A and B are shown apart, each in its own frame.
Chain A
Amino acid sequence: MKFVRMAGLLGLVLACGAARAAAPAESEVANAEEAITKVRAAARFLHDKGSSAYSDFNQKDSKWVWKDSYVFVYDCRKDRMIAHPLRPDLVGKPILQVTDNSGKYIFKELCKAGSEPRGGWVEYSWPKPGAGRLSRKVSYALAADVSFAAGIQVSAGIYDENITMPELNKVLEKMSDPAKYPAL
């Protein structure tokens, strides 16, 4: 009897685990609004603390890593990855020649989008944290104003197979309304 109860409990635990793995809860998937909010907060943080803030973005357990996403910092003028919480191997390396599997120059596109006054979205393939395979990633890039530096940008992306660029631009449009979203 005891064994049956144990087995039942074990089965329940396994079933829950399988369900979690198959479909992550909604709260574990970062959305477009969060990406924009995090990137803007990161740009503000870099403006306030200057280059000494770079190292914060290399920490896995900082507030710049959340749900299934994270903020990364790069220098478009010096062609260098400045900080990346999950890929320390990329930090300090050139970025502009990095392509995804379709041949898209990811950072050239990010640098272009990020230099727009409001920043912008770029779509590419990138491994999703923990998934071990390439996923469709759409990242929001924005220039960061850092003392004694030019060309610094911050980005964060969402892993979404379906969301379209017009939808993402609509979110950005909505979040650029100063009445609803006051400047950070």
Chain B
Amino acid sequence: MAEQKLGNPAVVGLAGFGLTTMVLQFHNVGWMGLGPVVWLGLIFGGLAQMIAGLQEMKSGNNFGYCAFTGYGCFWIALVLLLLGNHYNIYTSSKTDVGWFLVAWTMFTVILWIGSMRVSSALALTFTLLLVGFVLLDLAHFGYPDLTVVAGYELMVTAAMAWYIMAHLIYADLFGRDVLPVGKPWIA
């Protein structure tokens, strides 16, 4: 009997990461309010990405296991932080949010180096993500206008994450690599 085919949890992780990152940037550049960001962040960027991350354990992919679970938790924490401010439960000032982002920037540096061993597309995604985090850090410590720059920059990051998602899905559906992700930056 043939082995049952398993899905790749990364397609869900990348989908949630990309979509929620995208809508937060729609907010950051001023196109929409925070409402949809909160709910999408909780369920798709948060819960779905975190579950996808936990499923990576069985596929033996430590990078995906850490990254998807980590960023899934990032979204849930960010949403709870916004809700906490609304309901006056452990409120976080702009400075507090800034330090929260600084910690996530440091976490991203570690994964950024790891991503260079995976593929060009992933290394590029993490480079863009890291730049976006640094811009948001600066926006929280004295340069608020960089929120908008980070917004456009992180839209490209989200699109890159979707590119890798599309690479995985199309490779499966078309039976060949339609959207190549390139060689690792560090061989």
Q: Say yes or no: is B82 at the interface (Cβ < 8 Å to chain A).
A: yes
Size class of the A contact interface (CB-based, 8 Å): 10 to 19
Q: What is the bound-complex CA distance between A132 and B164, given in angstroms?
A: 62
Option from A49, A51, A77, A146 in Cβ contact (under 8 Å) with B91: A49
Question: Which residues of B, 65-123, contact A by the 8 Å Cβ criterion?
Answer: 82, 85-86, 91-95, 97-98
Interface size bucket, B side?
A: 20 to 34
Which single member of A51, A75, A143, A150 contacts B148 (CB below 8 Å)?
A: A150
Q: Mark A4-48, 1 if CB is under 8 A from B, else 0.
A: 000000000000000000000000000000000000000000011
A48 to B147 Cα, complex, angstroms: 18
Q: Are B85 and A77 neighbours in the complex by a CB distance under 8 Å?
A: no
A176 to B98, CA, bound (A): 26
- A148-B93 contact given A52-B82, A52-B85, A52-B86, CB 8 Å threshold: no
Encoded as 1 (CB less than 8 Å from any A CB) or 0, chain B from 133 to 147 comes to: 000000110001101
Q: What chain B residues lie within 8 Å of A52 (beta carbons)?
A: 82, 85-86
CB distance from B103 to the nearest CB of A (A): 15
A50 within 8 A of B: yes
B182 touches A (CB below 8 Å): no
> Which residues of chain A have a CB within 8 Å of any CB of chain B?
47-53, 75, 77-78, 143, 145-151
Interface residues of B (CB under 8 A from A): 24, 27-28, 30, 34, 82, 85-86, 91-95, 97-98, 139-140, 144-145, 147-148
- Residues on B with C-beta less than 8 A from A78 are 30
Q: Could you name 12 residue pairs across A and B whose Cβ atoms are closer than 8 Å?
A: A50-B82, A50-B85, A52-B82, A75-B30, A77-B30, A146-B94, A146-B144, A147-B98, A148-B34, A148-B97, A150-B147, A151-B144
Given known pairs A148-B28, A150-B145, A150-B148, the reply for A50 and B139 (CB within 8 Å) is no
Q: With A145-B144, A149-B147 given, is the CB distance from A50 to B97 under 8 Å?
A: yes
Given A47-B94, A50-B82, answer yes or no on A148-B27 (Cβ-Cβ < 8 Å): yes
Instruction: Give the residues in chain A near B27, CB-CB below 8 Å.
Output: 148
In the bound assembly, the distance between CA atoms of A48 and B94 in angstroms comes to: 6
B53 to chain A, nearest CB (A): 24
Could you tell me the distance between the alpha carbons of A47 and B141 in the complex, rounded to whole angstroms? 12
Q: Which of B93, B145, B148 contacts A47 (CB 8 A)?
A: B93
Q: How far is the CB of A148 from chain B (nearest CB, A)?
A: 6
The CA-CA distance from A13 to B145 in the complex, in Å, is 57
Chain B residues closer than 8 Å to A53, beta-carbon distance:
85
CB distance from B27 to the nearest CB of A (A): 6
B91 and A48 contacting across the interface, CB-CB below 8 Å: yes
Closest to B136 in A: A148
CB <8 Å contact, B94 and A145: yes
**B106 CB, min distance to chain A CBs, angstroms:** 19
Query: Would you give the shortest CB distance from A45 to chain B, in whole angstroms?
Result: 10
